[in-house]
Amino acid sequence: MMETGLVAVTERAADGGEGPLQQNGTLYITTRRLIWLSNDDLQKGYAVTFLSLSMHAISRDTNAYPLPCIYTQIETGGSDSEYEEADDMEEVLENDENHVEDDFSSVQEMRVVPRDPSILDQIFQVLCDCALLNPDPEGGMKSNFIHVITLLSPEQNKKVKRSGIFNVNEVFAGRHIGEDDKPSEVPDIGELQIHDPRFEDAEEELEEGNGY
Amino acid sequence: MLFFSYFKELVGKEVTVELKNDLAITGTLHSVDQYLNIKLENTRVVDEAKYPHMLSVKNCFIRGSVVRYVQLPPDGVDVDILHDATRREARGT
């Protein structure tokens, strides 16, 4: 659908997982993906669709992580992958050092470190907006719908037991959240149109996006 | 839209969101949208020892599709109203 870039947020950002910080690069945020491209190495870059960006947060406590950054978690599609296996950015980099096509498909965390920390809030907000532009596709509901559990007070609990208030099926029929819908393939970075004057022509797309 | 409306009522209250990767985050509900994306503030991870990477984070945005549970504050639940609302939703009216 919307192929052109939404906004280029910052220049010369760097990212890194648990491993060493990557070299400087440029962060691009399109309406569909977050993309980081190395400034120095044309072969190097990462991209993640907003569909698989399950969480993002501003990391400011330098006691816990030395650089203010955007912390993200990425849904890998590995069905029951354990969090403990998440620290694999470093591993992958070491194993595949000489390969152009590294496999980052199992990476579950990523930090984006802008050189200017004052734009963290702006990046955070743009990522929120982009998540809204990329809802999970409808359909294909299986067992992954959202559950709500309540911590009831004793009185409420009594009430529930007395009246049999919560019919499970009824409650859960209310709202289903899509399963792990992944785009079938990730297009190349042509969507960036980095040197294309049309890159600045995003207004129409933006208006389209406001429909959400 | 039931849960969307319902969660909006909980803005400003403390909830715990458990993700499908088992990470559980407690924080003040800042906002929720139609896809049940959730924004939390003043966050803390329930099991800090297990998830040290989250220590530096004080606010976060969670994609609705990765949420497994939302634990509600006891006083945020009006059983009767929720009951009626879920029945209406189930009937599709």
Residue of chain B minimizing CA distance to A110 = B53
B12/chain A closest Cα distance in angstroms:
17
Whether A99 and A23 share a structural domain: yes
Q: What is the DSSP letter of A106?
A: T
pLDDT exceeds 60 at position A201: no
pLDDT digits (tens, 9 = 90+) for A78-112: 544 444 444 444 444 444 344 434 567 777 888 89
- A39-50: average pLDDT: 84
Query: How far apart, in whole angstroms, are the C-alpha atoms of residue B25 and residue B54?
Result: 9
- A44-52: average pLDDT: 87
Q: CB–CB of B33 and A64 under 8 A?
A: no
CA dihedral B17, A70, A112, A28 (to 10 degrees): 100
Report phi then psi at A128, rounded to 5: -65, -45
Q: What percent of chain A has pLDDT over 90?
A: 20
Q: A170 at the B interface (CB within 8 A)?
A: yes
Reduce the DSSP state of residue B38 to 3 states and report it.
strand
pLDDT exceeds 90 at position A172: no
Whether A145 and A193 share a structural domain: no
Whether A146 and A127 share a structural domain: no
Query: How far apart, in whole angstroms, are the C-alpha atoms of residue A35 and residue A20?
Result: 19
Which range marks the domain in which residue B48 is found?
Answer: 2-91
B residues 35..74 contacting A (CB < 8 A): 35-37, 39, 43, 50-74
Whether A64 and A127 share a structural domain: yes
Number of domains in chain B: 1
B87/chain A closest Cα distance in angstroms:
7
Per the model's pLDDT, the better-predicted residue between A107 and A199 turns out to be A107
Q: A55 at the B interface (CB within 8 A)?
A: yes
CATH number assigned to the domain comprising residue B50: 2.30.30.100
Number of domains in chain A: 2
User: In the block, which residue shows the tokens 């220049």?
Assistant: A11
Q: What is the ipTM of this complex?
A: 0.86
Q: CB–CB of A147 and B63 under 8 A?
A: no
pLDDT digits (tens, 9 = 90+) for A104-161: 777 788 889 999 999 999 999 999 999 999 998 875 444 344 444 445 556 655 554 4
Strands A147-150 and B67-72 turn out to be: parallel
Which range marks the domain in which residue A162 is found?
Answer: 141-177
Query: Where does residue B39 rank: exposed (0-12), middle (13-18), buried (19+ CB within 10 A)?
Result: buried
Q: CB–CB of B61 and A56 under 8 A?
A: yes
Of B56, B86, B6, nearest to A120 (Cα)? B56
pLDDT digits (tens, 9 = 90+) for A146-155: 444 445 556 6
Which regions in chain B score pLDDT beneath 70?
Answer: 93
Residue of chain A minimizing CA distance to B31 = A128
Q: B30 and B20 in contact (C-beta within 8 Å)?
A: no
**What pLDDT score does B83 carry?**
86
Highest mean predicted confidence (pLDDT) among A39-48, A66-75, B73-82:
A66-75
Whether A91 and A155 share a structural domain: no
Hey, what are A129's tokens? Answer: 């907006």
Which residues of chain A make contact with B90, given a CB cutoff of 8 A?
169-170, 173-174
Q: What is the DSSP string of A12-64?
A: EEEEESSSPPP--EEEEEESSEEEEEESS-TT-EEEEETTSEEEEEEE--TTT
